[in-house]
Structure 1
């Protein structure tokens, strides 16, 4: 059986594209007494980007905090806040920020039309009702969240995405001007998420010409951004993120992302830096990729945190291992159908202890 997956239907790219957000939203404002919700990273509070939002009438500005990665409890709280604001479902949800903010916007748009807690939908294709119309405006590039069918959430018992065709944004606006002033470390860690997507996809057992076409272009753009000098590096990185997300849409990520989920769930480490920490110990899986990754780190003077797992309890380490090994499709892509014979709990634990 071949996957018949959906993709984002509307994409706008170019410097200054953010200025057209109001025009994009205008035909979606159809409900009498309706409104749209601007979900924006609270790091932008009172910053120029907020003053550029096309807020009208009863629109709601919802500042969200992503110091910690999104939790299902936080999504449920935000959904209740929106429901209490007005007794009609909004005409649109606009996610403005990095991967976590975009995932929050995705999850909110789903839960406004589906009953229960967002934790009930962590898994694959559990969503029954289509989402509210939602738009992504990335202010970071690399996660691929803008093109992904997943809203990654930490729940009470696991870190796992809401994976559904309904999760996909209806519109993305890619404006390279919005990522120009990202702090260097954050820019690097988020960009490396994209680079690692490409390595894991291109070297995985699920690889096919569809994924290969996108992955090869994405990794070429990453090399231009992180190993060369280009005045249009922000444009290149935004497209690398898009292509990288498309590459894994018809294949999968691998060992690094599985291990990073464990780091995130147990230690609260953000996804981008978690991927970098894990990838630096995966020469046995991706020797050329790790070698090139280290060249990129050296070129941009990046130092990763060390000894993160030193002194951890056996119970916490065991939970980390369980979290990583629970991501079966990722290990299948990395090692094939007999992955469990190769990736034992002992081997996984040893990798974590090195971190």
Structure 2
């Protein structure tokens, strides 16, 4: 029996205001004065002095503001890497991602591709990366995706939506400062929080479940219930707990896997550009036959917070478009195997997937 020997984030700081320690954390990692740190920052913070004035720029360091309106693409990674390499005279000291899952995934992918030849699309898959990434730091400003802790960075390529899954992907350092999530709009807070909740349900009901993933999944699920169904949490407490739930949810799937909702939402995202959090919610809403308890609780959460879950987004698709989504989804073999076991193909046929997508 061979057990997975997977990497964890070696260093993490947690606490309100811990973002202020970024300078003291990264300064010793500077290679030389001509090797800049590159800060990839969600462009919602452009002009937000409360956050941007605390980014510790020195020498040739640069801030690149990036829109998170679309899911990260392999082509976007390639152009960022080219820009960074052309402007860094003596190497790059590190990549610091400040934002939600999209920005964190881009930061992980860029840090890998600076040290690996070719195009990002050639590394979509499992364990294809040859050389270690440059030093990279994750600073989440949104809680739920688990991107701060995972060994993947999910990218939409020309042919598929699939992560660069490798031992070199995880951040070298993460700063968990719940204060940074204070201005997240309510709908986005919910959709991204549900990404974490769905991680837990898929991990805890999957065939890959073990004591390691269960311990993290149980903790994250309990926190999600307190946050989304509880009544007496202060704002600060809710922010702290959701950041911890995101971390634990990410750890839970690190040693197991996600399932049906993620496999199907990748199809939506690839074809329609649906953002990951809301895509998971749209799919999960229709998965009562696979996750009866989890979906029932999800519907309670939606109702309690008066959240709109879009419907009818597949109503106008033709057969070739359904086929594209189904192909992307069926390509995610480990997710289906975790959800339904070795014989998953007997349960999930193309017709079955099409009928589920038609409900969305």
TM-based fold match above 0.5: yes
Classify the secondary structure of the residue corresponding to 1:181: coil
Query: 249, 252, 262: which is aligned to 2:254?
Result: 249
Q: CA deviation at 1:32?
A: 4.1
Kindly indicate whether the alpha-carbon contact (under 8 Å) linking 2:34 and 2:88 is maintained by their aligned counterparts in 1: no
- TM (norm. structure 2) is 0.98
Residues 79-118 of structure 1: pairs in structure 2 closer than 5 A: 79-118=81-120
Aligned length: 355
Q: Partner of 1:293 in structure 2? A: 298
Query: 53, 56, 67: which is aligned to 2:55?
Result: 53
Kindly indicate whether the alpha-carbon contact (under 8 Å) linking 1:35 and 1:91 is maintained by their aligned counterparts in 2: yes
Distance 1:225 1:348 in 2: 32
Distance 1:204 1:264 in 2: 23
Deviation per CA, 1:278-315: give whole Å up to 9, x if none.
00000000000000001100111001111000111110
Q: Partner of 1:217 in structure 2? A: 219
Residue 36 (structure 2) pairs with residue 35 (structure 1) = yes
Q: CA deviation at 1:69?
A: 0.5
Kindly indicate whether the alpha-carbon contact (under 8 Å) linking 1:89 and 1:112 is maintained by their aligned counterparts in 2: no
Deviation per CA, 1:48-103: give whole Å up to 9, x if none.
21111011111011111221101111110111111111232211100000000000
Distance 2:116 2:26 in 1: 23
Residues 198-217 of structure 1: pairs in structure 2 closer than 5 A: 198-217=200-219
Query: 142, 145, 160: which is aligned to 2:147?
Result: 145
Residues 156-235 of structure 1: pairs in structure 2 closer than 5 A: 156-228=158-230, 229-231=232-234, 232-235=237-240
Q: Partner of 1:322 in structure 2? A: 327
Q: Partner of 2:11 in structure 1? A: 10
Distance 1:236 1:119 in 2: 35
Give the ranges of 4+ consecutive aligned residues of structure 1 lying more than 4 Å apart after TM superposition. none
Kindly indicate whether the alpha-carbon contact (under 8 Å) linking 1:263 and 1:269 is maintained by their aligned counterparts in 2: yes
Distance 1:239 1:88 in 2: 37
Distance 1:79 1:12 in 2: 27
Stretch deviating more after TM superposition (53-62 or 30-39): 30-39
Q: Partner of 1:335 in structure 2? A: 340
Kindly indicate whether the alpha-carbon contact (under 8 Å) linking 1:38 and 1:61 is maintained by their aligned counterparts in 2: yes
Classify the secondary structure of the residue corresponding to 1:165: coil
Distance 2:338 2:246 in 1: 20
Q: CA deviation at 1:237?
A: 0.3
Structure 2 portions without partners, runs of 5+: none
Distance 1:119 1:206 in 2: 28
Classify the secondary structure of the residue corresponding to 1:95: strand
Kindly indicate whether the alpha-carbon contact (under 8 Å) linking 2:143 and 2:242 is maintained by their aligned counterparts in 1: yes
Deviation per CA, 1:123-170: give whole Å up to 9, x if none.
000000000000000000000000001010000000000000101000
Q: CA deviation at 1:12?
A: 0.3
Structure 1 portions without partners, runs of 5+: none
Q: Partner of 1:352 in structure 2? A: 357
